[in-house]
Amino acid sequence: MKVSVHMLTYNHEKYIAQAIESVLMQELSFDYEIVIGEDCSTDNTREIVFHYHKKHPNKIRLLLHERNIGAISNHIQVLKACHGEYIAFLEGDDYWTSPHKLQKQVDYLDVHPDHSACFHAVRWFYEDGSQEDCIAPRPTCRRELFLEDLMKSTTINPCSIMFRQCILTKSFLDWYSTSVIGDWEFFIYAVQQGRIGYIDEVMAAYRIHAGGSYQGASSVKKLTDKIKTFNNLNACLKFKYNKTFKERISQCHYALAIEYVHRHNLSDAKSHFIMSVVECPFNVRISRKEVFKMFMRFYLPAAYKRMGLQLAQKPHLF
């Protein structure tokens, strides 16, 4: 088996058929399989994937969980079930737009044996039309990514990645089971196994909607999960990039402080502001002016109000 398509789905009744069809439309010179982890959806997602399985029993394999086991556990079980030399990710609410996607990525990895993975550009779109579409990464993206690149930005969208199955060791899967966000941690691991190549072509669409596992989460949960992820990766990388991770963690605490101020929870806001300073006292990622205003807000509130100061919105993290 040359390629396994790793597909996770939960409550994707509106989208899953489009995702599966975008795989079935692929024009290929090799065998492939679709392995779908259906995490006990409460809508008709399971009925839809079972319908496709009956139509394509030799192409589609299902992992039908009897209870909801969560994204990371589902992710790992599907990884273990994939038989392909290469594995491509596609979540049930995204889809591929090019019928040549898999072929181009296989061709790339076949001629670049020193690469652990490759990815391509993706169109991001908001289902509700609230924001304009965009293409990520930007055209200035390097043709190869190294660990230092991923430390600065995620860059890679999961629906664009293809990687070698041989990089999946038992020790990695055991460690990965403790991850929080998942995708970024996986990319950090993959780039340590070899270079990650970039194909400058838009071949997938990433749907942003309120029901998404990440987009639907609260700001507090997103930021808290990022702090856990940064701590997890910092230890995994043996604190080689401790300064960078400390800056990111500090930035998250600062963003949480602003979030709690907006929620009128000044006790938690002050606590996270202090943790932000403790983690990285002179964080270049946070404006000194904003830190001054935050300090005034907590310790000299009368002067803060008299000066008409206002806190900025929480900073963009990555």
Q: Using an 8 Å Cβ cutoff, are 160 and 122 in contact?
A: yes
Instruction: Return the structure tokens found at 226.
Output: 């990022």
65 vs 306 pLDDT, higher one: 65
pLDDT above 90: residue 212: no
CATH match of 3-208 with 3.40.50.2020:
no
Position 176 confidence tier, pLDDT thresholds 50, 70, 90: confident
Residue 218 confidence (pLDDT): 79
List of E strands, the chain: 3-9, 32-38, 60-64, 86-89, 95-96, 115-126, 134-136, 144-145, 162-164, 195-208
- Domain residue extents for the chain: 3-208, 219-306
Position 232 confidence tier, pLDDT thresholds 50, 70, 90: confident
- Give 294: exposed, middle or buried? Use CB within 10 Å, 0-12, 13-18, 19+: buried
3-state secondary structure of 49: helix
Residues 91-143 pLDDT 10s: 999 999 999 999 999 999 999 999 999 999 999 999 887 788 899 887 666 67
Residues 288-294, mean pLDDT to the nearest whole number: 88
Residue 237 confidence (pLDDT): 83
Burial annotation 244-258 (CB, 10 A radius, 16+ → b, else e): bbbbbbbbbbbbbbb
Residue 285 confidence (pLDDT): 84
Q: Using an 8 Å Cβ cutoff, are 205 and 97 in contact?
A: yes
Angstrom distance (rounded) from CA 272 to CA 71: 28
Residues 241-265 pLDDT 10s: 899 889 989 999 999 999 998 888 9
pLDDT above 90: residue 55: yes
pLDDT above 80: residue 296: yes
Residue 155 confidence (pLDDT): 76
pTM, two decimal places: 0.83
Residue 120: beta bridge partners? 199
pLDDT above 90: residue 278: yes
pLDDT above 80: residue 148: no
Residue 197: φ, ψ to 5° = -90, 155
Position 12 confidence tier, pLDDT thresholds 50, 70, 90: very high
Averaged pLDDT score across all residues of the chain: 90
Residues 19-43 pLDDT 10s: 999 999 999 999 999 999 999 999 9
